Copies of this chain bind each other. A is one copy, B any other.
Amino acid sequence: MNSLIIIKIGGNVIDNPDVLKQFLTAFRGIPGHKILIHGGGKIATQVAEKLSIPTTMVEGRRITDQPMLDVVTMVYGGLVNKQIVAQLQAIGVDAIGLTGADANTVRSRKRAVGAIDYGFVGDIEEVNSGQIQYFIRQNLVPVFAPLTYERSGNLLNTNADTMASAIAVDTAIRNEVTLVYCFEKKGVLSDPENDDSVISALTPETYADYKNKGVINKGMIPKLDNAFRALEKGVKKVIICHANQVAEAVSGSGVGTVLQSTV
């Protein structure tokens, strides 16, 4: 099987042009087939504010009503995605910007209204990995914005971490997939106060142990649960690292936190 590297970057990379440029240069240096998935960043909030579109938060979560969906479609699908693609092209990476609607790559379902109506938020139903595989075979580098769509034709705001893991799981049928979550720390920390206390490797057993001891903090748990599920479903390796160490992390030089399945 061919190896495929899937990398997710978040707001901390996107919001700073210099950091983004540095990341994209490192990304170029990673050999072989690869996919980039970007989150939203602060620009959507800034644009919404300038457009006087109120941000509605319920229980700490942002609600995507129709005006906010238009903003994220503009900012994630347009501004952020196309700027990344154009910058990658400029350094010789043949990138293609996609939302889940493009070539029907990721279809989702509008989240059911329960206690909270999240609005136009999508839960992924189907990844068209055959189509994604065609792009990869053409030596194109897909760059996904965190937007999917539902059968009725609505675009849907979609969590970028979840989108990355769904794409990783589905492409793992045909590839040996490494999924990399870049974030603002050097990896999963054993001491939240010490940025150098990176846990170099996690298995389901050691993860359970760290959780029981309260070492791994609350915010990391959904990300890690998600990552271990991806491993169970066929993804070969998950790495959690700082964006500026992505090339070293992928090359296996021991930076970041490497998650491995015991299966």
Contacts and interface: CB of A to CB of B under 8 A. Distances in A.
A126 interface: no
Given A82-B101, A97-B101, A90 B155 contact: no
Contacts of A147: 82
Contacts of A99: 82, 85-86, 97
A97 B145 CA distance: 12
Interface of A: 47, 50-52, 70, 73-79, 81-83, 85-87, 89-91, 94-99, 101-104, 134, 138, 140, 147, 149, 151-155
A155 B79 CA distance: 10
* Of A73, A78, A90, A102, most B-chain CB atoms within 10 Å: A78
A2 B98 CA distance: 27
Contact of A74 (B79, B101, B151, B153): B79
A132 B90 CA distance: 19
Q: How many identical subunits does the complex contain?
A: 2
A99 B140 CA distance: 15
Query: Which 5 A-B residue pairs are closest in the complex by CB-CB distance?
Result: A78-B78, A90-B153, A74-B74, A77-B78, A86-B101
A187 B149 CA distance: 36
A192 to B, nearest CB: 36
Given A50-B52, A73-B83, A90-B153, 17 more contacts: A50-B51, A51-B51, A73-B78, A74-B75, A74-B79, A78-B78, A78-B79, A82-B99, A82-B101, A85-B101, A85-B102, A86-B155, A89-B149, A90-B151, A90-B152, A95-B102, A134-B138
Contacts of A83: 73, 155
Nearest to A151: B90
Contacts of A154: 86
A68 B256 CA distance: 40
26 contacts: A47-B51, A51-B51, A70-B79, A73-B79, A74-B74, A76-B78, A77-B77, A82-B99, A82-B102, A82-B147, A82-B155, A85-B101, A85-B102, A86-B99, A86-B149, A86-B153, A86-B154, A89-B101, A89-B104, A89-B149, A90-B151, A90-B152, A90-B153, A94-B104, A96-B103, A103-B140
